[in-house]
Amino acid sequence: MNLRLIGIGAGVLIILSLPLAGAIAGPDFAGQDDGKGGGLFSTLGLSDSSRTSPSPQPPAPAAEAAASGPERPGQAEQPRTDSRCGPELSSPHGVEAQTCVLVSEGRTWGRSYYRNTSGHALDAVLTLMGPAGRTVQIRCAVGPGDEPGLCETPKDASAGDPESYSAVAEFAVPDDEGDLLLRSGSNSPASG
């Protein structure tokens, strides 16, 4: 009976240690790449400096403001980016968008995240409006497809309170008539 319990205990111990072995081995263990580059040793700040990690993917709009988490030893501090975004909107024509005002290191800019499933190329005009009549406007070509994209104004030195900025993106058919398909704003009221 004792040998049976020892055998069962050893089996349970092996099964429980497999996830730990995978974490120590890193992201390529068993062909799985978690995109974090380094496994448990990297997480604990114990990784070999000869290892390289893949470049990080840009954060989603809601996660961008909280992107600066706790630092690990040897990691460069990332500047904090605050964002104020309007609601995610969609049109019956197949256009979805969310528009934000972003602020980081004394600079302010506008950004619109979009998806165009209309089947047609569109024009987008993103306008960032600031205090004292300051306005920056950029035009972006929006190709058809299910892949998300973004349109972004240049980053400019902040002037005044971040709450005094707003951004509006307008998506239209690129022809003489320019039918407006969707307007998305950083301070748009949430649809109820």
The identity of residue 3, as a single letter, is L
H/E element, 107: strand 107-116
The residue written with tokens 């104004």 in the block is 153
**What's the half-sphere exposure (Cβ side, CA atoms, 13 Å) at 84?**
18
Rounded CA-CA distance 15/138 in Å is 56
Residue 38 has which token pair? 């380094």
Q: What are phi and psi of 8, to 5 degrees?
A: -65, -45
If phi > 0 it is left, if psi is from -120 to 50 it is alpha, else beta; for residue 64 that is alpha
With CA atoms as reference, report the closest residue to 117 among 78, 144, 83, 150: 144
- Whether the Cβ atoms of residue 99 and residue 184 lie closer than 8 Å to each other: yes
Model confidence pLDDT, tens digit, residues 4-56: 667 676 666 566 655 555 544 444 434 444 444 444 344 444 444 433 333 33
- Mean per-residue pLDDT, 184-188: 82
Model confidence pLDDT, tens digit, residues 104-162: 999 999 999 999 999 889 999 999 999 988 899 999 999 998 899 999 999 999 988 88
DSSP string, 160-179: S-GGG-EEEEEEE-SSSS--
- Whether the Cβ atoms of residue 146 and residue 117 lie closer than 8 Å to each other: yes
- Mean per-residue pLDDT, 47-67: 41
Tell me the whole-structure pTM to 2 decimals.
0.58
Instruction: Supply the pLDDT for residue 175.
Output: 77
> Does pLDDT of 186 surpass 70?
yes
**R_g of the chain, CA atoms, integer Å:** 24
